[in-house]
Amino acid sequence: MQAFLKGATAQSTKPQKDKATAGPSTEKKAKAVPWVEKYRPKCVDEVAFQEEVVAVLKKSLEGADLPNLLFYGPPGTGKTSTILAAARELFGPELYRQRVLELNASDERGIQVVREKVKNFAQLTVAGTRPDGKPCPPFKIIILDEADSMTAPAQAALRRTMEKESRTTRFCLICNYISRIIEPLTSRCSKFRFKPLANQIQEERLLDICEKENLKYTKEGITALVRVSEGDLRKAITFLQSAARLNVDKEITEHAIIEIAGVRLGRIMMDMIDNLLNICFRGTFEKLEVAVKNVVDEGYAATQILSQLHEAIIEQDLSDKQKSAITEKMAVVDKCLTDGADEYLQMLSLCSVIMQQASQNN
């Protein structure tokens, strides 16, 4: 156990050491901090839009017990930030290292590690007071970030540990896909779904950052930023920083955002979608092949085309049966694209289904 403790502290002090050795260039370094880190919520109160989990965590900050937690939801919605902020508030900076074990996908997390590292950490007993006499929660927290990348045997090995050490340890599992967490673990945790951030909330955050960083912006620029990031605040902030870096006068315009995001929105895109559908409805397969190739060669992201085609198909004058056949194919194509399939072939196969459906008069 002693060896483990040494291991754990050595690991967690590393970043500090780096900072200390950075020496005279620290000022430069401070500027180079990515904005996602700079503007990561420092306390639970700063977490926007995830009211349920914030309410539970605030109760435990006031002294109530904390359940085992499972956070899931799309990227950039505040999962990691929330638990880190809560842990920091619960234990304060001195105790943090003793009381919190943070493991993410970059750490080895096979069954061996669960058996040794996690179990050993969970078995340590803890006091209900800080060294300075202030009360603090009588438990430790083990954060398993990106838990969906843990192997099933490793997850299974957690089950008993989670129960046995429930007196002194709380677990917080974080993942994007809850379906990849084995059932026995999900049933041991309070589940919280992190929602994609609402446009309004993202806008507020972005404007706040613009102000703090002295950026000039147009309203359309911010709207475009919110639109391309689809509820992922991390993506929005990263795009914002790239746009600020690229433009000398630091103005955030719609044009700059679209350039960076690599997605073209608005009219050009709609024209292209209309053209594609036109060919599906009235053209020949040869024409379709050329049109799809052009679209893909233009550099439009296939997932973007897919979501716009989806919107367009719903509006089309087709029967419900035709629409459902097409949208079912869209779901399959979406999955294939996520798995890394060829964009051209997937788009072509989708468009040919649209063509086939449109040619059936029912």
- Which residues bind to ligand ATP, rule: CB under 6 A? 36, 39-41, 47-50, 75-81, 176, 194, 197, 233-234, 237
Phi, psi of 175, rounded to the nearest 5 degrees: -155, 165
Do residues 54 and 44 touch, judged by C-beta distance below 8 A? yes
C-beta of 122 vs 147, nearer to Mg ion: 147
* Residue 53's binding partner out of Mg ion, ligand ATP, none, with CB under 5 to 8 Å set by partner kind: none
C-beta of 83 vs 272, nearer to ligand ATP: 83
Shortest CB 111 distance to ligand ATP, Å: 23
C-beta of 67 vs 75, nearer to Mg ion: 75
* Residue 231's binding partner out of Mg ion, ligand ATP, none, with CB under 5 to 8 Å set by partner kind: none
> Residue 197 CA to chain centroid, in angstroms?
11
* Residue 221's binding partner out of Mg ion, ligand ATP, none, with CB under 5 to 8 Å set by partner kind: none
H runs (alpha helix) in 22-140: 26-31, 35-38, 51-61, 79-99, 111-113, 119-123
- Round to whole Å and give the CA distance between 136 and 66: 12
C-beta of 143 vs 185, nearer to Mg ion: 143
The residue range among 49-57, 72-80, 164-172, 210-218 that interacts with Mg ion, by the rule CB under 5 A, is: 72-80
Q: Which of 50, 77, 80, 229 binds Mg ion (CB under 5 A)?
A: 80
65 SS3 class:
coil
The beta-carbon contacts of 49-57 under 8 Å, at least 24 apart in sequence, are 49/77, 49/78, 49/195, 49/197, 49/198, 49/201, 50/77, 50/78, 50/82, 50/192, 50/194, 50/195, 52/192, 53/82, 53/192, 53/194, 54/82, 56/190, 56/192, 57/82, 57/86
C-beta of 43 vs 314, nearer to ligand ATP: 43
C-beta of 43 vs 64, nearer to ligand ATP: 43
Interaction between residue 81 and Mg ion (CB under 5 A) = no
The residue nearest Mg ion at its CB is: 80
Do residues 126 and 139 touch, judged by C-beta distance below 8 A? yes
Shortest CB 54 distance to ligand ATP, Å: 9
Do residues 302 and 343 touch, judged by C-beta distance below 8 A? yes
* Residue 181's binding partner out of ligand ATP, Mg ion, none, with CB under 5 to 8 Å set by partner kind: none
Shortest CB 129 distance to ligand ATP, Å: 30
The residue nearest ligand ATP at its CB is: 78
- What is residue 125's DSSP assignment? -
* 244: amino acid identity, one letter: A
C-beta of 61 vs 325, nearer to ligand ATP: 61
Residues that bind Mg ion (CB under 5 A): 80
